[in-house]
Amino acid sequence: MSMDARTIRLVMALRRAGVTDTRVCGAIERIPRDLFVPHHFQDKAYENTALPIGCHQTLSAPIVVGMMTQALDVGERMKVLEIGTGSGYHAAVLSRLCRRVYSIERYRDLQKEAEQRFARLGLHNITTKVGDGTFGWPEQAPFERIVITAAANDVPPLLGNQLAIGGLMVLPIDDGGGQQRLWRVRRTVDGFDTDDMGEIRFVPLIAEPGL
């Protein structure tokens, strides 16, 4: 099956699963997922499954990327903060939808590899750094959108403070008993409104300096 056919099949599967936003589907269609997958998993690059990428991290399944991105409701003039660059795939998808993506990765090796992929694809509106994602990126705040790709116990307070009034954050929350739920959080003048979007599974959010 050709690369184009594999991409089309993936996008059709995402639409059937509920990713119906045409801008999100278009962004996923334009980003070659095989570029973000380790060589020995190339045969699974366009399957709807999570894949290991090293440093005990994973590349999320396409349906997770699609649903989280759709929930963010990203506009083309927006500034987006991503916590957990990983392979760079989600940041690449987001870069097709917004003005600029700022992405923080804990592992320097993953950050360097992601930067190389962005350069290869000519994605010049993504800025990354190595660090503790729970601190966010205060120099660039506020952000209209924040996405966290690791499970927290609650909305990280520093990240909540960096979300613009009216802005949205999408993140997995661990209830402490091993269950994770995907939350969409909107910041209001009075605090935060939350929507539970269902079960999810991510690696834990670690509050430590980058490695």
Known catalytic residues are 60
Residues shown for the chain? 211
Rounded-to-integer distance, Cα 174 and Cα 15, Å = 27
Please count the other Cβ atoms lying within 10 Å of the Cβ belonging to residue 47. Answer: 17
Please count the other Cβ atoms lying within 10 Å of the Cβ belonging to residue 141. Answer: 17
Q: How far is CA 127 from the centre of its chain?
A: 14
At 190, phi and psi to the nearest 5? -100, -5
